[in-house]
Amino acid sequence: MELIVRMAKSFGEFRLRADFTASGSRIGIFGESGSGKSTLVNVLAGLACPDSGEIVLDGETLFSGAARLDLPPEKRRIALVFQHPHLFPHLSVKGNLLYGWKRCAVANRHIHIDDIVDVLRIGHLLGRGVTNLSGGEKQRVALGRALLSNPRLLLMDEPLSALDDSLRFQIIPYLRGACETFSIPYLFISHSLVEMRLMTDRVIVYDRGRQAADTTPDELARVRMGTSPVGYINLLRLTDPQPRGTLFSYAWGDSRLVLNTPPAGEEHLFELSSKDMILFRKHPEAISARNLLRCTVAGVFKSGRKEGVELACGRERLVAEVAAEAARELELVVGSEVYVAIKASAFRRLG
Ligand SMILES: Nc1ncnc2c1ncn2[C@@H]1O[C@H](COP(=O)(O)OP(=O)(O)OP(=O)(O)O)[C@@H](O)[C@H]1O
């Protein structure tokens, strides 16, 4: 997929300027509320008309101010998934799923209902009406409907923000997996950095209508660490949960971590803030934290008034943060050895 966007759009005082070429398949659009993300989505989908510029998808011009061309939404082959599923209440799940498929040219029908049903695990819902589905089921049906329209590009505008945390992180593998399985490139819009890290490889950052950065989700998390109230969120995929007294031990790379969270479901995805780690130069004598890992400093970076410390713990990596004075006292240089202490209660389950 190659998407070229060079355009401007104003609403009164607000002016959105977009100038990027996206050639990957997992692109994020990140920004605070009111930064222009939804305006960009509407413009790409053909629901709003830019004031000037051009939009070209895979060599086809969708909009050109100079040529006075504005392809209508139904001719763009761009599908949308919104925060709220907007399913058709008078149609069954199957009717909803087939809505876009029936309107798609036969030559473009590469994805069929049976494929979608398997990947999104919604086979048991096909005959049901949509009003009584759970929030997560509705969003899976909305995603299925969008994919079955066999789009060239999928726009997902905050598709998870109406869901509670546990559902949010259950749905992410479906979103990612379905788009990967059917090779559908997407633009994923969100103001959640964690979602960005799980869903995208490249992020274009908007700030008050202006393109502020074009970066990777991990780099963005590092840059914002020093000013973010939650620091840098480490994402840990743990396996093999075992009870250990009143706590639980999970495998993490070559080590084991002790958490106070019992296992639930098959995935054990946890977050750990860079603020919730304490570094020691030498092995401490006795500590209350249930985890003490011996790590090597793999990198040190500045973020606001903090120093980020990238730690190699076996084959896994963690980012911790310390004040500049602490970094000096610890004599943090690449290759030095440190101990990191983490409380069992510091890990928060995501999925
Ligand atoms: N149709 C419209 N008419 C007038 N102003 C609009 C219109 N659509 C958006 N705006 C304004 O444009 C700005 C950007 O809005 P937009 O919805 O694109 O932001 P956003 O980044 O998606 O925000 P959020 O994360 O809160 O959804 C806001 O100031 C908004 O009030």
H/E stretch holding 221:
helix 217-225
Q: What single letter denotes the amino acid at residue 197?
A: R
**pTM here?**
0.90
If we measure between CA atoms, which residue out of 74, 83, 198, 80 comes closest to residue 138?
83
Q: What is the pLDDT of residue 67?
A: 97
Q: What's the rounded Cα separation, in Å, for the pair 81 and 159? A: 6
Query: What are the backbone angles phi and psi of residue 303, rounded to the nearest 5°?
Result: -150, 110
Ligand 1 midpoint to CA 38 (Å): 6
- DSSP H helices in 271-348: 324-330
Exposure of 35 by Cβ count < 10 A (0-12 exposed, 13-18 middle, 19+ buried)? buried
Residue whose CA lies nearest to ligand 1 atom number 5: 11
Task: Please report, as a single letter, which amino acid is at residue 19.
Answer: D
Which residue CA neighbors atom 13 of ligand 1 most closely? 34
pLDDT higher than threshold 80 for residue 293: yes
| HSE-CB for 36 with a 13 A CA cutoff | 24
Ligand 1, atom 10: closest residue by C-alpha: 11
Mutational pocket test of ligand 1: of 39, 40, 84, the residue with most ligand atoms within 8 Å of the beta carbon: 39
Model confidence band, residue 163 (pLDDT cutoffs 50, 70, 90): confident
Assess whether the C-beta atom of 32 lies below 6 angstroms from ligand 1: no
User: Backbone dihedral region of 158: left (phi > 0), alpha (psi from -120 to 50 degrees) or beta?
Assistant: left
Q: Using a 6 Å cutoff on CB, does residue 11 contact ligand 1?
A: yes
How many angstroms is it from 154 CA to the middle of ligand 1? 20
Indicate whether 266 pLDDT > 90.
no
Confidence of residue 302 (pLDDT cuts 50, 70, 90): very high
The minimum-distance atom of ligand 1 relative to the CA of 40 is: 18
For residue 99 the two structure tokens come to 């809505």
| Domain spans in the chain, listed from the N-terminal domain onward | 3-215, 233-349
Q: What is the pLDDT of residue 180?
A: 92
Phi-psi region of 58 (alpha: psi -120 to 50; beta: other; left: phi over 0): left
Q: For the chain, give the percent of residues with pLDDT over 70.
A: 100
- Ligand 1 geometric centre to CA of 54 (Å): 21
The protein residue with its alpha carbon nearest to ligand 1, atom 25, reads 33
User: 178-206: per-residue pLDDT in tens?
Assistant: 899 989 999 999 999 999 999 999 999 99
Tokens linked to 257: 């971590």
Residues forming beta bridges with residue 69, ordered by sequence position: 64
Domain covering 3-215 in this structure, CATH number:
3.40.50.300
Residue 37 Cβ inside 6 Å of ligand 1? The answer reads: yes
Give the integer Cα–Cα distance in Å for 115 and 108. Answer: 15
Angstrom distance (rounded) from CA 30 to CA 192: 8
Q: Is the CB of 36 under 6 A from ligand 1?
A: yes
As a whole number, the mean pLDDT across the chain is 94
Domains 3-215 and 233-349 share a fold: no
User: In this structure, are residues 188 and 196 in contact, taking their beta carbons and an 8 Å threshold?
Assistant: yes
Name the β-bridge partners of 346.
none
pLDDT tens column, 94-124: 999 999 899 988 999 989 999 888 888 899 9
Does the C-beta of 33 come closer than 6 Å to ligand 1?
Answer: yes
- Return the structure tokens found at 142: 């909305």
Nearest CA among 122, 37, 45 for reference residue 77: 45
Q: Is 190 in the pocket of ligand 1 (CB under 6 A)?
A: no
Beta carbon of 88 within 6 Å of any ligand 1 atom:
no
Distances (CA, A) of 308 to 205, 270, 336, 347: 21, 20, 15, 19
| Residue located nearest, by CA, to atom 17 of ligand 1 | 38
SS3 237: strand
Residues 6+ apart with CB under 8 A from 102: none
Fold that domain 233-349 belongs to in CATH: OB fold (Dihydrolipoamide Acetyltransferase, E2P) (2.40.50)
CA 200 to chain centre: 6
Cβ-proximal residues to 152 (8 Å cutoff; 6+ apart), any chain: 1, 57, 58, 76, 77, 78, 185
